[in-house]
C-alpha cells in the first residue's frame, strides 16, 4: 500500500474548519437534494426516497458503530489502526446482514413494497462504502488533517448526487438511479481516502479477539445511543407510512431541513474535539466548561434565528424548492420540527461530550428510555392527529432525550471537579 500513498500537504487549522463545514453540509444535504430532484423528475417516488434514505442512514450507524469520536479522541493511541480497521470491516458486514433481514421482514409483513425494499438495500450499500471511507477519514482527522477528511466527504457527496440526478433525468427510475452512487463512492475511496491514509498508517487489518472485544465494549454504548436516536426518528416515518402513507413525501420534505441546525453545530464542535479531549485529560476544567458553554449557546442562537426566519419565510421557500408538494397549512408543524431539530443538535453535542469524558455508557439510559417511548407514542399520535401528531411526537421525544442526557453530563462534570479538589 505504501506505493499508493500520496504526499501529505501542510496542516491548516483554518482549512480544517472550512472544509469540515463544507463536507458536513454537503453530507447532510444529500437527503434534501435527492428529495428535491425526485420531486421534479419522479414525483410518485417521493414517498419512497423519504422513507428509504433515513432508514439507510440508520443502517449506516451500524456500519460506523460510532467509532469515529472514539478514534479521533484516542489521544493515547489505545487502539492501533489495524485493529480499528478490522472492526470496521466486521461492523459493515453486520450492517448489510441486518439491512437484508430487516427489509425481508418488512416486505413479507406487507409493511414495505418491493420498490421500497430495493431502494433501501441499494442505499444501504452506498452507506456501507461511506462507512468504509469514514475509518480512513478518522486517521486524517486524528493526525491533524481534518480538512482532507472534509474535502473527501464533500467530493464523494457531490459526485453521488450528480450521478443520481443525471441518471434519474435520463431514466425516471429511482432504483436504477441509486446504482451510480454506489459506483462513484467506491471509486473515490480507492483513489483518495486510502492513498492519503496510507501516508500515515499501514492499511492492514489485524484480528485479535481481545482487542476487538475491547473496541466493541468501548463503542457499544455510543453505538446503541446513536442507533436508538435513528430509530426514534424513523419511528415517526414508519407511523406516517402506516397510518397516513399519502403524506409520507410531505412529512419527509418538512423534516429534512431541521437537521441543518444539527449540521451547523457539528461543524463548529467537531474541530474542537481534540482540543477538548486534551483539556479534559489535563484537568483544565475551566477552559473545558467555557468552551462547552459557548457550544450550547451557539445551538440556542441558531435555533432562535431559524424559528424567526421560518415563521415568515419557511413555507414559500419550501414550496419553491420542492415542486408538486403542497405545504399550505403546515407552518406550525414546521416550527415544531425546528424545535425538535434544536433538541437533536443538543443531543448530538451532549452525547459527544459524554464520549469524550468516557461516560458514554450512562447516556444509553436516556436513549433506552426515549426509545421505549418511541415504540408506541408515534403510532398513537399519528393515528389520531396525522401529520401534526408525527411532529409533536418527534419534538417531545427529542426534548426528553436532551434533558436526560444533559442532566447526566452535569452530574459527571461536577463529580470530576469535586473529586479532583480533594
Cα separation values, 293 from 81, 333, 334, 346, Å? 33, 30, 28, 12
Q: What is the largest CA-CA distance in the chain?
A: 70
Q: What are phi and psi of 5, to 5 degrees?
A: -75, 140
Question: Are 22 and 212 in contact, with CB atoms under 8 Å apart?
Answer: no
Cα separation values, 418 from 285, 411, 422, Å? 11, 11, 7
**Residue 154 belongs to what H/E stretch?**
helix 146-171
Question: Are 80 and 148 in contact, with CB atoms under 8 Å apart?
Answer: no
Residues 6+ apart with CB under 8 A from 390: 236, 239, 240, 251, 378, 381, 382
pLDDT value for 241: 86
**Residue 209 belongs to what H/E stretch?**
helix 209-243
pLDDT value for 2: 46
99: left (phi over 0), alpha (psi -120 to 50) or beta: alpha
**CA–CA separation, 188 and 195 (whole Å):** 10
pLDDT value for 256: 77
Question: Are 392 and 382 in contact, with CB atoms under 8 Å apart?
Answer: no
pLDDT value for 267: 66
pLDDT value for 355: 82
**Residue 399 belongs to what H/E stretch?**
helix 360-421
**CA–CA separation, 111 and 407 (whole Å):** 38
Question: Are 41 and 170 in contact, with CB atoms under 8 Å apart?
Answer: no
**CA–CA separation, 377 and 235 (whole Å):** 9
Residues 6+ apart with CB under 8 A from 215: 67, 79, 83, 84, 87
CB atoms within 10 A of CB 109: 8
pLDDT value for 4: 66
Instruction: Tell me the per-residue pLDDT of 328-365, one tens digit each, with 9 for 90 and over.
Output: 889 999 999 999 999 999 998 998 899 888 887 888 88
Instruction: Tell me the per-residue pLDDT of 378-403, one tens digit each, with 9 for 90 and over.
Output: 999 999 998 999 999 999 999 999 99
Please give the DSSP secondary-structure letter assigned to residue 416.
H
**Joined grid coordinates for residue 128:** 456501507
Count CA within 13 A, CB hemisphere, residue 319.
11
Spans of the chain, pLDDT less than 70 = 1-4, 75, 267, 421-422
Tell me the whole-structure pTM to 2 decimals: 0.81
Amino acid at each position: 500500500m505504501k506505493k499508493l500513498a500520496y504526499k501529505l500537504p501542510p496542516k491548516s487549522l483554518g482549512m480544517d474548519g472550512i472544509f469540515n463545514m463544507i463536507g458536513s453540509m454537503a453530507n447532510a444535504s444529500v437527503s434534501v437534494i435527492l428529495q428535491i430532484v425526485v420531486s421534479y423528475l419522479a414525483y410518485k417516488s417521493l414517498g419512497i426516497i423519504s422513507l428509504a434514505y433515513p432508514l439507510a442512514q440508520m443502517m449506516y450507524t451500524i456500519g460506523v458503530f460510532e467509532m469515529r469520536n472514539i478514534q479521533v479522541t484516542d489521544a493515547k493511541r489505545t487502539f492501533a489502526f489495524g485493529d480499528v480497521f478490522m472492526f470496521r470491516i466486521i461492523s459493515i458486514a453486520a450492517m448489510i446482514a441486518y439491512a437484508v433481514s430487516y427489509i425481508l421482514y418488512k416486505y413479507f409483513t406487507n409493511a414495505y413494497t418491493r420498490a421500497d425494499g430495493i431502494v433501501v438495500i441499494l442505499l444501504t450499500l452506498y452507506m456501507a462504502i461511506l462507512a468504509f471511507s469514514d475509518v480512513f477519514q478518522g486517521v486524517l482527522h486524528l493526525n491533524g488533517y481534518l480538512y482532507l477528511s472534509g474535502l473527501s466527504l464533500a467530493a464523494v457527496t457531490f459526485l453521488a448526487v450528480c450521478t443520481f440526478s443525471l441518471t434519474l433525468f435520463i431514466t425516471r427510475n429511482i432504483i436504477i438511479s441509486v446504482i451510480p452512487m454506489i459506483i462513484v463512492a467506491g471509486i473515490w475511496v480507492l483513489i483518495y481516502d486510502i492513498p492519503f491514509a496510507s501516508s500515515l498508517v499501514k492499511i492492514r487489518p489485524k484480528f485479535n479477539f481481545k482487542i476487538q472485544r475491547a473496541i466493541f465494549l468501548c463503542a457499544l454504548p455510543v453505538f446503541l445511543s446513536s442507533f436508538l436516536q435513528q430509530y426514534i426518528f424513523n419511528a415517526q416515518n414508519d407511523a406516517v407510512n402506516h397510518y397516513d402513507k399519502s403524506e409520507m413525501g410531505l412529512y419527509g420534505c418538512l423534516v429534512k431541513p431541521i437537521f441543518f441546525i444539527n449540521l451547523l453545530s457539528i461543524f463548529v464542535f467537531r474541530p474542537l474535539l481534540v482540543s477538548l479531549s486534551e483539556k479534559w485529560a489535563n484537568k483544565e476544567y475551566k477552559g473545558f466548561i467555557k468552551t462547552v458553554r459557548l457550544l450550547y449557546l451557539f445551538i440556542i442562537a441558531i435555533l432562535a434565528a431559524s424559528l424567526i426566519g421560518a415563521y415568515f419565510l419557511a413555507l414559500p421557500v419550501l414550496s419553491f424548492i420542492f415542486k408538486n408538494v403542497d405545504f399550505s397549512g403546515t407552518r406550525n408543524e414546521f416550527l415544531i420540527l425546528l424545535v425538535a431539530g434544536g433538541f437533536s443538535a443538543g443531543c448530538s453535542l451532549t452525547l459527544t461530550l459524554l464520549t469524550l469524558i468516557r461516560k458514554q455508557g450512562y447516556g444509553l439510559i436516556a436513549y433506552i428510555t426515549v426509545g421505549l417511548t418511541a415504540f408506541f407514542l408515534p403510532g398513537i399520535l399519528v393515528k389520531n392527529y396525522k401529520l401534526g401528531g408525527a411532529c409533536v411526537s418527534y419534538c417531545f421525544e427529542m426534548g426528553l432525550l436532551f434533558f436526560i442526557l444533559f442532566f447526566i453530563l452535569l452530574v459527571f462534570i461536577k463529580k470530576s471537579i469535586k473529586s479532583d479538589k480533594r
